[in-house]
Chain A
Amino acid sequence: MKNKSLISITDFSTDEILRILEIAEEFENNPEPHLLDGKVVATLFFEPSTRTRLSFESAVNRLGGRVIGFSDPNVSSVSKGETLKDTIKIVSNYCDLIVMRHPLEGSSRYASEVANVPVINAGDGANQHPTQTLLDMYSIKKTQGRLDNINIFMVGDLKYGRTVHSLLQAMSPFNPTFHFISHPKLKMPDEYKRYLDKKGVKYYEHEQFTNIISEADIIYMTRVQRERFSDLMEYEKTKDMYVLHNYMLENAKPTMKILHPLPRVNEISQDVDSNPKAYYFDQARNGVFARQAVISTVLGLKK
Protein backbone atom coordinates (compact mmCIF):
# COMPACT_ATOMS: atom_id res chain seq x y z
CA MET A 1 0.00 0.00 0.00
CA LYS A 2 3.09 2.20 -0.12
CA ASN A 3 2.51 5.47 -1.96
CA LYS A 4 -1.12 4.61 -2.34
CA SER A 5 -3.44 7.47 -1.56
CA LEU A 6 -6.52 6.94 0.58
CA ILE A 7 -9.37 8.95 -0.93
CA SER A 8 -12.39 6.70 -0.64
CA ILE A 9 -12.91 3.73 1.68
CA THR A 10 -13.45 1.61 -1.43
CA ASP A 11 -9.80 2.30 -2.46
CA PHE A 12 -8.75 -0.31 0.12
CA SER A 13 -9.67 -3.97 -0.20
CA THR A 14 -11.19 -5.77 2.76
CA ASP A 15 -7.81 -7.38 3.46
CA GLU A 16 -6.10 -4.00 3.39
CA ILE A 17 -8.69 -2.59 5.79
CA LEU A 18 -8.16 -5.51 8.16
CA ARG A 19 -4.40 -4.92 8.05
CA ILE A 20 -4.88 -1.21 8.86
CA LEU A 21 -6.99 -2.18 11.88
CA GLU A 22 -4.27 -4.59 13.06
CA ILE A 23 -1.63 -1.88 12.73
CA ALA A 24 -3.88 0.53 14.67
CA GLU A 25 -4.01 -2.03 17.46
CA GLU A 26 -0.22 -2.39 17.37
CA PHE A 27 0.14 1.37 17.81
CA GLU A 28 -2.30 1.40 20.68
CA ASN A 29 -0.39 -1.31 22.51
CA ASN A 30 3.08 -0.22 21.51
CA PRO A 31 3.58 3.45 20.60
CA GLU A 32 6.45 4.05 18.19
CA PRO A 33 7.55 7.61 18.91
CA HIS A 34 10.37 7.59 16.32
CA LEU A 35 8.72 5.86 13.38
CA LEU A 36 8.20 9.13 11.48
CA ASP A 37 11.59 10.66 12.35
CA GLY A 38 12.56 13.03 9.56
CA LYS A 39 9.16 12.90 7.89
CA VAL A 40 7.08 15.98 7.18
CA VAL A 41 3.30 15.74 6.82
CA ALA A 42 1.30 18.65 5.39
CA THR A 43 -2.22 19.16 6.74
CA LEU A 44 -4.07 21.33 4.23
CA PHE A 45 -7.46 22.35 5.57
CA PHE A 46 -9.31 24.34 2.93
CA GLU A 47 -12.22 24.47 5.34
CA PRO A 48 -11.96 24.43 9.11
CA SER A 49 -12.35 21.13 10.97
CA THR A 50 -10.47 21.47 14.19
CA ARG A 51 -11.29 18.03 15.54
CA THR A 52 -10.13 16.14 12.46
CA ARG A 53 -7.03 18.28 12.02
CA LEU A 54 -5.94 17.85 15.66
CA SER A 55 -6.51 14.11 15.42
CA PHE A 56 -4.25 13.84 12.36
CA GLU A 57 -1.63 16.15 13.84
CA SER A 58 -1.65 14.22 17.10
CA ALA A 59 -1.17 11.00 15.12
CA VAL A 60 1.87 12.45 13.31
CA ASN A 61 3.36 13.98 16.45
CA ARG A 62 3.00 10.80 18.47
CA LEU A 63 4.99 8.99 15.78
CA GLY A 64 7.73 11.62 15.85
CA GLY A 65 6.92 13.33 12.54
CA ARG A 66 6.65 17.03 11.85
CA VAL A 67 3.58 18.88 10.65
CA ILE A 68 3.27 21.86 8.32
CA GLY A 69 0.09 23.26 6.84
CA PHE A 70 -2.81 25.63 7.29
CA SER A 71 -6.18 25.43 8.94
CA ASP A 72 -7.76 28.48 7.34
CA PRO A 73 -7.70 28.87 3.57
CA ASN A 74 -8.02 32.65 3.89
CA VAL A 75 -4.38 32.94 4.84
CA SER A 76 -3.12 30.79 1.99
CA SER A 77 -2.59 31.48 -1.66
CA VAL A 78 -6.04 30.02 -2.33
CA SER A 79 -7.44 33.42 -1.41
CA LYS A 80 -5.25 34.92 -4.15
CA GLY A 81 -6.97 32.74 -6.71
CA GLU A 82 -4.40 29.98 -7.09
CA THR A 83 -5.81 26.72 -8.47
CA LEU A 84 -5.93 23.64 -6.27
CA LYS A 85 -3.56 21.96 -8.69
CA ASP A 86 -0.87 24.60 -8.22
CA THR A 87 -1.22 24.56 -4.44
CA ILE A 88 -0.92 20.78 -4.32
CA LYS A 89 2.02 20.70 -6.78
CA ILE A 90 3.95 23.18 -4.67
CA VAL A 91 3.15 21.65 -1.30
CA SER A 92 4.04 18.16 -2.47
CA ASN A 93 7.62 19.45 -2.89
CA TYR A 94 7.70 20.31 0.79
CA CYS A 95 6.41 17.15 2.40
CA ASP A 96 6.22 13.35 2.36
CA LEU A 97 2.45 13.13 2.69
CA ILE A 98 -0.55 15.41 2.28
CA VAL A 99 -3.63 15.25 4.49
CA MET A 100 -6.34 17.43 3.05
CA ARG A 101 -9.83 18.58 3.74
CA HIS A 102 -11.74 20.58 1.15
CA PRO A 103 -15.36 21.73 0.77
CA LEU A 104 -15.61 20.57 -2.86
CA GLU A 105 -16.39 16.95 -3.68
CA GLY A 106 -13.74 15.08 -5.61
CA SER A 107 -11.01 17.56 -4.66
CA SER A 108 -8.90 14.93 -2.87
CA ARG A 109 -9.05 12.51 -5.80
CA TYR A 110 -7.87 15.29 -8.07
CA ALA A 111 -5.13 16.24 -5.62
CA SER A 112 -3.93 12.63 -5.53
CA GLU A 113 -3.58 12.74 -9.32
CA VAL A 114 -1.43 15.86 -9.37
CA ALA A 115 0.62 15.32 -6.20
CA ASN A 116 4.01 13.56 -6.15
CA VAL A 117 3.30 12.24 -2.65
CA PRO A 118 0.40 10.18 -1.25
CA VAL A 119 -2.77 12.04 -0.27
CA ILE A 120 -5.10 11.13 2.59
CA ASN A 121 -8.62 12.49 2.27
CA ALA A 122 -9.76 14.10 5.52
CA GLY A 123 -13.17 14.92 4.06
CA ASP A 124 -14.18 16.26 0.64
CA GLY A 125 -17.54 17.97 1.01
CA ALA A 126 -20.37 15.49 1.43
CA ASN A 127 -18.43 12.81 -0.43
CA GLN A 128 -15.89 10.74 1.55
CA HIS A 129 -14.07 10.70 4.88
CA PRO A 130 -12.37 7.31 4.91
CA THR A 131 -10.34 7.61 8.13
CA GLN A 132 -13.62 8.16 10.00
CA THR A 133 -14.83 4.82 8.67
CA LEU A 134 -11.60 3.11 9.69
CA LEU A 135 -11.81 4.46 13.23
CA ASP A 136 -15.47 3.40 13.41
CA MET A 137 -14.47 -0.11 12.35
CA TYR A 138 -11.58 -0.13 14.80
CA SER A 139 -13.99 0.86 17.56
CA ILE A 140 -16.39 -1.94 16.60
CA LYS A 141 -13.63 -4.53 16.48
CA LYS A 142 -12.12 -3.38 19.75
CA THR A 143 -15.39 -3.33 21.70
CA GLN A 144 -17.00 -6.43 20.20
CA GLY A 145 -13.85 -8.50 19.70
CA ARG A 146 -14.85 -9.14 16.09
CA LEU A 147 -16.23 -7.55 12.93
CA ASP A 148 -18.38 -10.50 11.83
CA ASN A 149 -22.12 -10.82 12.46
CA ILE A 150 -22.57 -7.44 14.15
CA ASN A 151 -26.05 -6.00 14.60
CA ILE A 152 -25.77 -2.28 13.88
CA PHE A 153 -28.50 0.30 14.46
CA MET A 154 -27.97 3.53 12.56
CA VAL A 155 -29.99 6.48 13.83
CA GLY A 156 -30.63 10.05 12.67
CA ASP A 157 -29.73 11.53 9.31
CA LEU A 158 -29.23 8.50 7.10
CA LYS A 159 -29.84 10.40 3.89
CA TYR A 160 -27.01 12.92 3.96
CA GLY A 161 -24.72 11.33 6.55
CA ARG A 162 -21.62 10.25 4.65
CA THR A 163 -20.24 8.40 7.70
CA VAL A 164 -23.16 5.95 7.74
CA HIS A 165 -22.90 5.34 4.00
CA SER A 166 -19.18 4.55 4.11
CA LEU A 167 -19.51 2.41 7.23
CA LEU A 168 -22.32 0.43 5.64
CA GLN A 169 -20.17 -0.30 2.59
CA ALA A 170 -17.06 -1.18 4.56
CA MET A 171 -18.93 -3.50 6.98
CA SER A 172 -20.88 -5.33 4.27
CA PRO A 173 -18.32 -8.13 3.75
CA PHE A 174 -18.67 -9.12 7.43
CA ASN A 175 -22.27 -10.33 7.40
CA PRO A 176 -23.78 -7.51 9.45
CA THR A 177 -27.46 -6.84 10.15
CA PHE A 178 -28.52 -3.23 9.84
CA HIS A 179 -31.45 -1.43 11.38
CA PHE A 180 -32.09 2.07 10.10
CA ILE A 181 -34.01 4.48 12.33
CA SER A 182 -34.84 7.82 10.78
CA HIS A 183 -37.50 10.33 9.84
CA PRO A 184 -39.06 9.37 6.46
CA LYS A 185 -37.40 12.42 4.92
CA LEU A 186 -33.95 11.32 6.06
CA LYS A 187 -34.18 7.64 5.11
CA MET A 188 -31.26 5.61 3.80
CA PRO A 189 -31.07 6.40 0.05
CA ASP A 190 -32.19 3.70 -2.38
CA GLU A 191 -28.73 3.38 -3.93
CA TYR A 192 -27.33 2.08 -0.61
CA LYS A 193 -30.28 -0.24 -0.08
CA ARG A 194 -29.72 -1.63 -3.56
CA TYR A 195 -26.05 -2.07 -2.65
CA LEU A 196 -27.02 -4.10 0.44
CA ASP A 197 -29.53 -6.16 -1.59
CA LYS A 198 -26.81 -6.97 -4.07
CA LYS A 199 -24.44 -8.04 -1.28
CA GLY A 200 -27.19 -10.07 0.42
CA VAL A 201 -26.97 -8.00 3.62
CA LYS A 202 -30.06 -7.92 5.87
CA TYR A 203 -31.53 -4.54 6.79
CA TYR A 204 -34.70 -3.22 8.37
CA GLU A 205 -36.15 0.29 8.40
CA HIS A 206 -37.93 1.94 11.31
CA GLU A 207 -39.42 5.39 11.75
CA GLN A 208 -38.85 5.44 15.49
CA PHE A 209 -36.87 3.69 18.18
CA THR A 210 -38.11 0.14 18.67
CA ASN A 211 -37.90 -2.34 21.53
CA ILE A 212 -35.53 -4.44 19.51
CA ILE A 213 -32.68 -2.04 20.10
CA SER A 214 -32.06 -4.50 22.94
CA GLU A 215 -30.60 -6.74 20.19
CA ALA A 216 -28.08 -4.13 19.09
CA ASP A 217 -24.33 -4.67 19.30
CA ILE A 218 -23.68 -1.13 18.11
CA ILE A 219 -25.92 1.94 18.05
CA TYR A 220 -24.46 4.45 15.62
CA MET A 221 -25.98 7.87 16.30
CA THR A 222 -25.76 10.81 13.90
CA ARG A 223 -26.71 14.44 14.10
CA VAL A 224 -29.86 15.66 12.39
CA GLN A 225 -29.15 19.07 10.97
CA ARG A 226 -31.84 21.71 11.02
CA GLU A 227 -30.88 22.76 7.46
CA ARG A 228 -32.10 19.39 6.14
CA PHE A 229 -35.72 20.39 6.75
CA SER A 230 -37.39 22.98 4.56
CA ASP A 231 -40.23 23.07 7.09
CA LEU A 232 -38.89 24.18 10.48
CA MET A 233 -42.10 23.13 12.22
CA GLU A 234 -41.50 19.60 11.05
CA TYR A 235 -37.94 19.73 12.37
CA GLU A 236 -39.15 20.93 15.76
CA LYS A 237 -41.79 18.20 15.87
CA THR A 238 -39.45 15.38 14.93
CA LYS A 239 -36.10 16.32 16.45
CA ASP A 240 -36.94 14.75 19.83
CA MET A 241 -38.07 11.48 18.28
CA TYR A 242 -34.52 10.47 17.51
CA VAL A 243 -32.89 11.28 20.83
CA LEU A 244 -31.27 8.46 22.76
CA HIS A 245 -31.95 8.57 26.52
CA ASN A 246 -30.38 6.51 29.26
CA TYR A 247 -33.66 4.80 30.23
CA MET A 248 -33.91 3.35 26.72
CA LEU A 249 -30.76 1.32 27.33
CA GLU A 250 -32.07 -0.73 30.27
CA ASN A 251 -32.49 -3.92 28.28
CA ALA A 252 -29.51 -3.43 26.02
CA LYS A 253 -26.84 -6.10 25.73
CA PRO A 254 -24.07 -5.63 28.29
CA THR A 255 -21.51 -5.47 25.48
CA MET A 256 -23.46 -2.94 23.40
CA LYS A 257 -21.66 0.32 22.62
CA ILE A 258 -22.93 3.66 21.37
CA LEU A 259 -20.89 5.36 18.66
CA HIS A 260 -21.21 8.86 17.23
CA PRO A 261 -18.90 10.60 14.74
CA LEU A 262 -19.34 13.85 16.75
CA PRO A 263 -20.04 16.70 17.16
CA ARG A 264 -23.18 15.82 19.05
CA VAL A 265 -25.93 18.35 19.57
CA ASN A 266 -28.88 16.88 21.46
CA GLU A 267 -29.36 13.47 19.86
CA ILE A 268 -27.66 11.71 22.75
CA SER A 269 -28.99 12.86 26.08
CA GLN A 270 -26.30 13.97 28.57
CA ASP A 271 -27.48 11.28 31.01
CA VAL A 272 -26.11 8.64 28.62
CA ASP A 273 -22.54 9.92 28.97
CA SER A 274 -21.92 8.22 32.30
CA ASN A 275 -23.33 4.90 31.07
CA PRO A 276 -20.47 2.47 30.32
CA LYS A 277 -22.19 1.80 26.99
CA ALA A 278 -21.37 5.33 25.84
CA TYR A 279 -18.28 4.91 23.71
CA TYR A 280 -18.17 8.07 21.58
CA PHE A 281 -15.36 9.78 23.46
CA ASP A 282 -13.16 6.67 23.36
CA GLN A 283 -14.07 6.36 19.70
CA ALA A 284 -12.43 9.74 19.09
CA ARG A 285 -9.28 8.43 20.82
CA ASN A 286 -9.27 5.42 18.50
CA GLY A 287 -9.17 7.89 15.64
CA VAL A 288 -5.56 8.74 16.48
CA PHE A 289 -4.50 5.06 16.27
CA ALA A 290 -6.42 4.48 13.05
CA ARG A 291 -4.82 7.57 11.48
CA GLN A 292 -1.36 6.52 12.67
CA ALA A 293 -1.96 3.21 10.93
CA VAL A 294 -3.02 4.86 7.66
CA ILE A 295 -0.17 7.39 7.69
CA SER A 296 2.56 4.83 8.38
CA THR A 297 1.11 2.44 5.80
CA VAL A 298 0.93 4.88 2.90
CA LEU A 299 4.46 6.04 3.76
CA GLY A 300 5.59 2.41 3.47
CA LEU A 301 6.81 2.29 7.08
CA LYS A 302 4.36 -0.46 7.97
CA LYS A 303 3.38 -3.31 5.72
Chain B
Amino acid sequence: MDKSELKVTAIKDGTVIDHIPANDLFKVVRILNLENLDNQITVGVNLDSKKLGKKGIIKISDKFFEDNEINKIALLAPDANLNIIKNYEVVEKRSVQLPDMICGISRCMNPKCITNSEPMITKFEVVSKRPVALKCCYCEKITDAQHIVIE
Protein backbone atom coordinates (compact mmCIF):
# COMPACT_ATOMS: atom_id res chain seq x y z
CA MET B 1 0.00 0.00 0.00
CA ASP B 2 1.55 3.34 -0.96
CA LYS B 3 1.90 6.07 1.61
CA SER B 4 -0.67 8.47 0.21
CA GLU B 5 -3.38 5.89 0.67
CA LEU B 6 -2.65 5.82 4.35
CA LYS B 7 -3.65 9.46 4.58
CA VAL B 8 -7.27 8.50 4.12
CA THR B 9 -9.00 5.88 6.19
CA ALA B 10 -9.05 2.30 5.01
CA ILE B 11 -12.45 0.77 4.26
CA LYS B 12 -13.70 -2.68 5.12
CA ASP B 13 -15.73 -3.44 2.01
CA GLY B 14 -16.18 -1.32 -1.11
CA THR B 15 -14.35 0.33 -3.96
CA VAL B 16 -11.29 2.56 -4.03
CA ILE B 17 -10.83 4.65 -7.15
CA ASP B 18 -7.21 5.71 -7.36
CA HIS B 19 -5.11 7.77 -9.77
CA ILE B 20 -7.72 10.37 -10.64
CA PRO B 21 -6.16 13.63 -11.92
CA ALA B 22 -6.55 16.08 -8.99
CA ASN B 23 -8.20 18.74 -11.17
CA ASP B 24 -10.91 16.38 -12.31
CA LEU B 25 -11.67 14.76 -8.98
CA PHE B 26 -14.91 16.59 -8.33
CA LYS B 27 -16.08 16.07 -11.89
CA VAL B 28 -15.58 12.34 -11.36
CA VAL B 29 -17.65 12.64 -8.17
CA ARG B 30 -20.38 14.21 -10.28
CA ILE B 31 -20.22 11.67 -13.10
CA LEU B 32 -20.63 8.86 -10.61
CA ASN B 33 -23.49 10.71 -8.94
CA LEU B 34 -21.84 10.18 -5.55
CA GLU B 35 -23.68 13.15 -4.03
CA ASN B 36 -26.82 11.07 -4.01
CA LEU B 37 -25.37 7.97 -2.39
CA ASP B 38 -25.97 7.20 1.28
CA ASN B 39 -22.75 5.17 1.54
CA GLN B 40 -19.75 6.38 3.54
CA ILE B 41 -17.44 8.12 1.11
CA THR B 42 -13.93 9.43 1.70
CA VAL B 43 -12.49 11.82 -0.85
CA GLY B 44 -8.80 12.73 -0.93
CA VAL B 45 -7.43 15.38 -3.23
CA ASN B 46 -3.99 16.84 -4.04
CA LEU B 47 -2.24 13.74 -2.77
CA ASP B 48 1.28 13.19 -4.10
CA SER B 49 1.53 10.82 -7.02
CA LYS B 50 4.62 9.72 -8.93
CA LYS B 51 2.54 9.21 -12.06
CA LEU B 52 0.26 12.27 -12.02
CA GLY B 53 2.01 14.77 -9.74
CA LYS B 54 -1.12 15.49 -7.77
CA LYS B 55 -3.85 12.92 -7.68
CA GLY B 56 -7.24 12.34 -6.21
CA ILE B 57 -8.65 9.25 -4.58
CA ILE B 58 -12.20 8.21 -3.71
CA LYS B 59 -13.16 5.43 -1.28
CA ILE B 60 -16.75 4.28 -1.25
CA SER B 61 -17.87 1.80 1.39
CA ASP B 62 -20.18 -1.06 0.46
CA LYS B 63 -20.39 -0.04 -3.17
CA PHE B 64 -19.38 -2.19 -6.13
CA PHE B 65 -19.85 -0.56 -9.52
CA GLU B 66 -21.14 -2.16 -12.70
CA ASP B 67 -18.68 -1.78 -15.61
CA ASN B 68 -20.98 0.55 -17.53
CA GLU B 69 -21.33 2.75 -14.45
CA ILE B 70 -17.65 3.12 -13.69
CA ASN B 71 -16.20 3.14 -17.21
CA LYS B 72 -17.68 6.56 -17.86
CA ILE B 73 -14.97 8.11 -15.69
CA ALA B 74 -12.33 7.06 -18.24
CA LEU B 75 -13.41 10.17 -20.12
CA LEU B 76 -11.59 12.29 -17.50
CA ALA B 77 -9.43 9.80 -15.68
CA PRO B 78 -8.07 7.29 -18.21
CA ASP B 79 -5.38 6.16 -15.76
CA ALA B 80 -7.76 5.54 -12.87
CA ASN B 81 -7.46 2.23 -11.04
CA LEU B 82 -10.21 0.42 -9.22
CA ASN B 83 -9.42 -1.57 -6.12
CA ILE B 84 -12.21 -3.80 -4.96
CA ILE B 85 -11.96 -4.25 -1.20
CA LYS B 86 -13.45 -7.10 0.78
CA ASN B 87 -12.72 -7.39 4.49
CA TYR B 88 -9.86 -4.84 4.28
CA GLU B 89 -8.14 -6.83 1.52
CA VAL B 90 -7.79 -5.82 -2.12
CA VAL B 91 -9.46 -8.73 -3.87
CA GLU B 92 -9.40 -7.29 -7.38
CA LYS B 93 -7.58 -4.52 -9.27
CA ARG B 94 -8.97 -3.14 -12.47
CA SER B 95 -8.29 -0.25 -14.82
CA VAL B 96 -11.12 1.70 -16.42
CA GLN B 97 -12.01 1.20 -20.08
CA LEU B 98 -13.77 3.86 -22.09
CA PRO B 99 -16.94 2.35 -23.61
CA ASP B 100 -17.72 2.61 -27.35
CA MET B 101 -20.74 4.83 -26.71
CA ILE B 102 -21.15 7.63 -24.19
CA CYS B 103 -24.61 8.88 -23.27
CA GLY B 104 -25.02 12.11 -21.36
CA ILE B 105 -21.96 13.22 -19.32
CA SER B 106 -20.34 15.49 -21.91
CA ARG B 107 -21.82 18.27 -23.98
CA CYS B 108 -21.24 18.55 -27.73
CA MET B 109 -18.74 21.29 -28.60
CA ASN B 110 -20.67 22.34 -31.73
CA PRO B 111 -22.76 25.38 -30.71
CA LYS B 112 -25.12 24.68 -33.64
CA CYS B 113 -25.81 21.13 -32.49
CA ILE B 114 -29.42 20.34 -31.57
CA THR B 115 -28.24 18.84 -28.26
CA ASN B 116 -27.24 22.34 -27.14
CA SER B 117 -30.70 23.76 -27.60
CA GLU B 118 -33.15 20.94 -26.79
CA PRO B 119 -33.63 19.44 -23.33
CA MET B 120 -32.20 16.07 -24.38
CA ILE B 121 -29.42 13.65 -23.54
CA THR B 122 -26.25 13.79 -25.62
CA LYS B 123 -24.96 10.65 -27.33
CA PHE B 124 -21.46 10.08 -28.68
CA GLU B 125 -19.60 7.36 -30.49
CA VAL B 126 -16.08 7.08 -29.04
CA VAL B 127 -13.95 7.30 -32.20
CA SER B 128 -10.62 7.48 -30.39
CA LYS B 129 -9.86 6.40 -26.83
CA ARG B 130 -6.48 8.07 -26.40
CA PRO B 131 -6.58 10.98 -26.85
CA VAL B 132 -10.33 10.90 -26.36
CA ALA B 133 -12.42 11.93 -29.38
CA LEU B 134 -16.20 11.76 -29.31
CA LYS B 135 -18.35 11.87 -32.43
CA CYS B 136 -21.79 13.32 -31.78
CA CYS B 137 -24.52 10.92 -32.95
CA TYR B 138 -26.68 13.92 -33.87
CA CYS B 139 -24.57 16.60 -35.58
CA GLU B 140 -21.73 14.15 -36.50
CA LYS B 141 -19.05 16.63 -35.31
CA ILE B 142 -16.07 15.57 -33.19
CA THR B 143 -15.61 16.79 -29.62
CA ASP B 144 -11.95 16.32 -28.66
CA ALA B 145 -10.36 15.89 -25.23
CA GLN B 146 -9.72 19.63 -24.77
CA HIS B 147 -13.36 20.46 -25.40
CA ILE B 148 -15.12 17.91 -23.26
CA VAL B 149 -17.50 19.79 -20.97
CA ILE B 150 -19.10 17.74 -18.24
CA GLU B 151 -22.83 18.41 -17.89
A residues contacting B by CB (< 8 A) are 8, 83-85, 102-107, 109-110, 124-128
Residue B82 at the A interface, CB < 8 A?
no
A105 touches B141 (CB 8 A): yes
B114 touches A105 (CB 8 A): yes
B residues contacting A by CB (< 8 A) are 108, 110, 112-115, 117-120, 136-141
Complex Cα distance, B115 from A8, in Å, reads 17
Known: A84-B114, A125-B112, A126-B112. Contact between A106 and B119, CB under 8 A? no
A105 touches B140 (CB 8 A): yes
A107 touches B119 (CB 8 A): no
Residues of B close to A128: CB separation below 8 A: 140
Residues of B close to A83: CB separation below 8 A: 118-119
Complex Cα distance, B119 from A177, in Å, reads 44
The 4 residue pairs across chains A and B that have the minimum distance between CB atoms: A106-B138, A105-B139, A106-B139, A106-B114
Question: Which of these, B108, B112, B137, B141, contacts A109 with CB under 8 Å?
Answer: B137
A110 closest partner in B (C-beta): B114
A109 touches B138 (CB 8 A): yes
Residues of A close to B114: CB separation below 8 A: 84, 102, 104-107, 109-110, 124
Known: A127-B139, A127-B140, A128-B140. Contact between A104 and B120, CB under 8 A? no
Complex Cα distance, B117 from A102, in Å, reads 13
Known: A8-B140, A110-B138, A127-B139. Contact between A105 and B113, CB under 8 A? yes
Residues of B close to A8: CB separation below 8 A: 140
Question: Which of these, A84, A85, A104, contacts B113 with CB under 8 Å?
Answer: A104
Known: A125-B112, A126-B112. Contact between A105 and B118, CB under 8 A? no
B141 closest partner in A (C-beta): A105
Q: What are 10 pairs between A and B in contact, CB < 8 Å?
A: A83-B118, A104-B114, A105-B138, A105-B141, A106-B115, A109-B138, A110-B114, A110-B138, A125-B112, A125-B139
Within the complex, the shortest CB–CB distance from B132 to chain A, in Å, comes to 17
Known: A110-B118, A110-B120. Contact between A105 and B112, CB under 8 A? yes
A114 closest partner in B (C-beta): B120
B137 touches A85 (CB 8 A): no
B119 touches A104 (CB 8 A): no
A104 touches B112 (CB 8 A): yes
Known: A104-B113, A105-B110. Contact between A85 and B118, CB under 8 A? yes
A103 closest partner in B (C-beta): B112
Residue among A85, A109, A128 with the highest chain B CB neighbour number at 10 A: A109
A104 touches B140 (CB 8 A): no
Within the complex, the shortest CB–CB distance from B17 to chain A, in Å, comes to 33
Residues of B close to A107: CB separation below 8 A: 114, 138
A104 touches B141 (CB 8 A): no
Residue among B108, B118, B137 with the highest chain A CB neighbour number at 10 A: B118
- Contacts A110-B115, A125-B139 known; list 19 others, CB within 8 Å: A8-B140, A83-B118, A85-B120, A104-B112, A104-B113, A105-B110, A105-B138, A105-B139, A105-B140, A106-B136, A106-B138, A106-B139, A106-B140, A107-B138, A109-B138, A124-B114, A124-B139, A127-B139, A128-B140
Residues of B close to A124: CB separation below 8 A: 114, 139
Within the complex, the shortest CB–CB distance from B74 to chain A, in Å, comes to 24
Complex Cα distance, B119 from A125, in Å, reads 19
A126 closest partner in B (C-beta): B112
Residues of A close to B120: CB separation below 8 A: 85, 110
Complex Cα distance, B117 from A126, in Å, reads 16
Complex Cα distance, B114 from A8, in Å, reads 15
Complex Cα distance, B122 from A121, in Å, reads 20
Residues of B close to A103: CB separation below 8 A: 112
Complex Cα distance, B110 from A85, in Å, reads 20
Complex Cα distance, B137 from A286, in Å, reads 30
A125 closest partner in B (C-beta): B112
Complex Cα distance, B117 from A106, in Å, reads 11
Residue among A83, A85, A106 with the highest chain B CB neighbour number at 10 A: A106
